[in-house]
Structure 1
């Protein structure tokens, strides 16, 4: 059984009051949960990686619980999400794909009826590498008001034999969203990818 030992975890919360326009009464909140973990596959090729996704599921749930708490605990207010990975330089891009199920399904489980695919990004990088985590509405991928990204990075990671795992959640649309498209209030059941 692979070991994904956590070296460091970080939770970051942003309250966005304006972006050059009128100041919002209720700010838009973005939060990220980051874990720097050992990569048990670093430095070698392993054919069958899929079983290791199960080993990351408890971490995905803990990170999701941290995010929900950081955003105030009311899951009904959380309407956007995304996930991403930076693989340390001794790993391969496919090691980042280990996060697809544990990260995405943890957020879906805790948020209840989250119907849309969880936007995702991954890359290989060294110390201080940064990644833009894409964000979309949790119930319909074409809700333009929720298209966003949150830049994530940690100065001392990932080390060559580590993974930087990240989950992001948001409350509300971009602070001055006005580009049309499917409105969150108009989502119908199973619009998911519409």
Structure 2
């Protein structure tokens, strides 16, 4: 059973009032949380990493709960995404450990979320930034919710660390006007439309 000691967490919150046009009736909120943990696989090759995803599920749930709190509650959250960074000695596959614990934690807490949780993974050292992709929680084809939120922290990921991120949003991009499936048209049958 791998151990992922938590070094620190950080929360980012944005309230977007306008994006070049007139102010929106309601600002769009985006928030993200990152956790910096020890990478128990750094510096060595391990064939089967999959069991370690279960060990990260409590971290995913804790981060999701804190992120929902930062969003001001669950009401209206309609976008989500996840990302991970591996520091020196880590490999890209170590970041993939976050797929199940990060994605399923948000889906569990948000209830009827049907769409795949967009994801980004990369390797980099301290100060590396990552764009957490965002998409609609029930239908991947809702263009108005395609977005990303950049996160990072100056002192992470250090050698032998992983940075895990979750992000959520409420509402479409301010002034979205690219057409496509509208959020109010989502049928929610297959996670696509």
Task: Give the TM-score of the pair, scaled to structure 1.
Answer: 0.98
How far has the Cα of 1:191 moved from its partner?
4.1
CA–CA distance in structure 1, aligned partners of residues 99 and 126 of structure 2: 23
CA–CA distance in structure 2, aligned partners of residues 11 and 152 of structure 1: 9
Q: Which residue of structure 2 lines up, in the alignment, with residue 118 of structure 1?
A: 117
Q: Give matches, 1:78-157, under 5 Å.
A: 78-157=77-156
CA–CA distance in structure 1, aligned partners of residues 126 and 49 of structure 2: 24
CA–CA distance in structure 2, aligned partners of residues 191 and 176 of structure 1: 27
Q: Give matches, 1:1-194, under 5 Å.
A: 1-73=1-73, 75-194=74-193
How far has the Cα of 1:178 moved from its partner?
0.8
How many residue pairs end up in the alignment?
193
Is the 8 Å Cα contact of residues 31 and 169 (structure 2) preserved in structure 1? Answer: yes
For the residue of structure 2 that corresponds to 1:76, the secondary structure is coil
What root-mean-square deviation, in Å, do the aligned CA atoms of Structure 1 and Structure 2 show?
0.7
CA–CA distance in structure 1, aligned partners of residues 180 and 188 of structure 2: 17
CA–CA distance in structure 1, aligned partners of residues 190 and 146 of structure 2: 16
Structure 2, gaps ≥5 residues long: none
How far has the Cα of 1:160 moved from its partner?
1.2
How far has the Cα of 1:80 moved from its partner?
0.1
* Post-superposition CA distance 1:70-118 (Å, at most 9, x none): 1111x23100000000100210100000000000000000000000000
In the TM superposition, structure 1's runs of 4+ consecutive aligned residues that sit over 4 Å from their partners are none
Structure 1, gaps ≥5 residues long: none
Is the 8 Å Cα contact of residues 81 and 132 (structure 2) preserved in structure 1? Answer: yes
For the residue of structure 1 that corresponds to 2:105, the secondary structure is helix
CA–CA distance in structure 2, aligned partners of residues 191 and 22 of structure 1: 35
